[in-house]
Amino acid sequence: MPSTPACILVVDDEPELKRLIERRLKPQIETGEFQFLFTTNGMDALDVLRSNPHISVILTDLNMPGMDGWALLEQLPKIDPLLKAVVVSAYGDIQNIRTAMNRGAFDFLTKPINFQDLIVTIRKTIDIVTNSRLQKQQLETAVENLQYLALYDKLTGLPNQNHVLECIRSAVDHQLDFALFYLALDRFKVIRYGYGKTLAEKFLIQEVERIKSCLQPGDILARIWKDEFVLFLPNIKSENIALEKANQLHQAFKLFLPERRITASGNTSIGIALSSLFYEQAEDFLRAADTAMHYARMQSNKNCTVFFNPEMQVAVLNRLQLESDLELGLENQEFQVYYQPIYNLTNQNLVGFEALVRWQHPSRGLIPPSDFIPLAEETGLIIPLGEWVLRESCRQFSYWKKEFPDQFPLSLSVNLSGLQILKSDFSGLIDEIIESNILEGFSLKLEITESILMENPEAVTEYMNQLKSRKIQLSIDDFGTGYSCLSYLQSLPLDTLKIDRSFIMNINCNPKSLDIIKTLITLAHSLNLDVVAEGVETEEQINILNDLGCEYGQGYYFSPPINVNSVTQLFQKNKSI
């Protein structure tokens, strides 16, 4: 039985009917299945219906004083279209039945009443009304959800783009001052690709709460896209005030993943469009702020804030096109691996190669890594790109080892991004590549930049120990350009330290560079690391590096990065000597 009695309104001017119903349906009333209300005419019935929306069934006579049953049937849809009326009348001829049904009656029972039939009819009618009302409620809930989703973001509960556009339109229509911030979490995609959707979304929600702590009454924070937000700030017309707010937001955007003992730099790009642009359309303000945000992302300095100006449009469009081309380039296999030889500086014998990716764009030609690697990092495409470089270079290296066994052992150095290293299945990928290419672990040397080491020290150290257990060599790349803690370096399972080319290029004319290199080499040797100098271009540089005890070097003095055919020719040339 239902927990709440079904409410039934009886409309009949016969006093005896009330007594009969209460006596014959007493079990149903006492158990709480039915609850009856009684009235004697149609007008009173309408008053009861208006004050009691829970009535499910009406039992009505036809001939009554005042408003009769015929008129009542016609009024019921105005009160509740789902309400059902059962006519109970002594006038049960076919004409009356048809007329009653045409005016909206759900069923027709004749007097004298068969109470067993009445109970069945009431139950049947209640079931239909209950189901109809439930379906209506579900439909209304669905419509409310759709209306909510039209204006709000499901994950964060924040307003979405449609909502913030309405705010802008209102401000423009009333000529009010405002600032529109377009914010992007520059490292959110890295976290999402590296650690998965669930963890990334959890911390995105936490980050939203931090941003909310910066808001004032009347400020509107909206989520536009996965890692992009818009902040509508009313009553701001000064660039200085807007910039002060942006600096506050930069501090709020700090991504921290304590569960995985991993941190990610909370770099944030903010584009600002002020109401002083005097656009007429809300979409133009949003587009301007978005353009400024993308322009901020293109800058070398992190946590950048940029105010929109129309000249940015071309540069941003070019970058967006490059991002689209990058994804297509991966699908269309437009990338190539080039190999730069590494030599022993003492005897100038070949000791290995560094694998370097190059992009042969179908219309723009060969695009340098400095133009697309940062973009690949930002978008997360560095994961599939890096995996392809690792697989392809190991495959090719294995082939050369079979073709020219007398020129081995040589090492293959491959650069890794922080996102690759921190990917949960990276160690398994390394095992698969080494096994499928029949490479000993010590043939492979993985290069990790100093910045990655310092950004995620505990997690990276853990992964490095896993790799070291597989007899893979590890190198710290671009050393000297970051801020490594020497005590931390001492604990790392490293084999090689690579000195950045920026120090090598001035070694013969800048005493400061010479002192730095001397210090770096001394440090490396104290940690039992060998040293590779990058960017070696002259014999004078080689002589100085030899005097300082640097073991290895690479650069244009020996060879630029070369393609597969050129490496094969190099092996063939060395074989004939």
Query: Could you give the 3-state DSSP secondary structure of residue 43?
Result: helix
Whether residues 300 and 336 share a domain: the answer is: no
Q: Residue 2: which pLDDT band, with cuts at 50, 70 and 90?
A: very low
Alpha helices in 298-439 (DSSP H): 312-331, 369-379, 382-403, 418-421, 426-436
Q: What's the whole-model pTM score?
A: 0.62
Same domain, 133 and 49: yes
pLDDT of the residue at 317: 83
Q: Is 268 in contact with 186 (CB distance < 8 Å)?
A: yes
In whole angstroms, give the CA distance from residue 275 to residue 291.
15
Asked if residue 156 lies in contact with residue 205, where contact means CB atoms within 8 angstroms, the answer is yes
Task: Answer yes or no: do 384 and 486 share one domain.
Answer: yes
217 φ/ψ angles, rounded to the nearest 5 degrees: -55, 130
**Of the ranges 194-208, 285-299, 433-447, the best mean pLDDT one:** 285-299
pLDDT (0 to 100) of residue 368: 85
Q: Do residue 166 and residue 277 come from a single domain?
A: yes
Chain centroid, CA 224 distance in Å: 11
What pLDDT is stored for residue 577 in this prediction?
Answer: 61
Query: Are 295 and 422 in the same domain?
Result: no
| Tens digit of each residue's pLDDT (9 = 90 or more) over 142-189 | 877 776 767 778 888 888 888 899 999 999 999 999 999 999 887 776
The pair of structure tokens assigned to 74 is: 């016609």
In a domain, 484, yes or no: yes
pLDDT tens for residues 311-367?
Answer: 888 878 888 888 899 999 999 999 999 999 999 999 999 999 999 999 999 998 988
Q: Place 260 in a pLDDT band, splitting at 50, 70 and 90.
A: very low
> Per the domain annotation, does 153 fall within a domain?
no
pLDDT(214) > 90: no
Q: For 85-140, write each residue's pLDDT tens digit.
A: 999 998 888 998 999 999 999 999 999 999 999 999 999 999 999 999 999 888 88
Q: Note whether residue 318 is domain-resident.
A: no
Tally of domains within the chain: 3
Averaged pLDDT for residues 429-457: 77
Domain check: are 371 and 473 in the same one? yes
User: Is residue 154 domain-resident?
Assistant: no
In this structure, the number of other CB atoms found within 10 A of the CB of residue 113 comes to 16
Structural domain including 22 reads 6-148
Is residue 171 located within the same domain as residue 102? no
Q: Are 223 and 302 found together in one domain?
A: yes
Q: What pLDDT score was predicted for residue 48?
A: 94
The CATH number of residue 12's host domain is 3.40.50.2300
Question: End of a domain among 285, 310, 335?
Answer: 310
Tell me whether residue 130 is in a domain. Answer: yes
> How high does pLDDT run on average in the chain?
86
If asked whether residues 177 and 67 sit together in one domain, one would say: no
**Beta carbons within 10 angstroms of residue 118's beta carbon:** 17
Sole residue written with tokens 């000297």: 480
What φ, ψ does residue 167 adopt, rounded to 5°? -60, -45
Give CA separation, 431 vs 401, 425, 428, 466, 472, in Å.
Answer: 19, 10, 5, 11, 10
Residue-level pLDDT at 1: 42
Would the pLDDT of 262 be above 70? no
Is 101 within a domain? yes
Q: Secondary structure of 504-568 in the HEC alphabet? A: HCCCCCCHHHHHHHHHHHHHHHHCCCEEEECCCCCHHHHHHHHHHCCCEECCCCCCCCECHHHHH
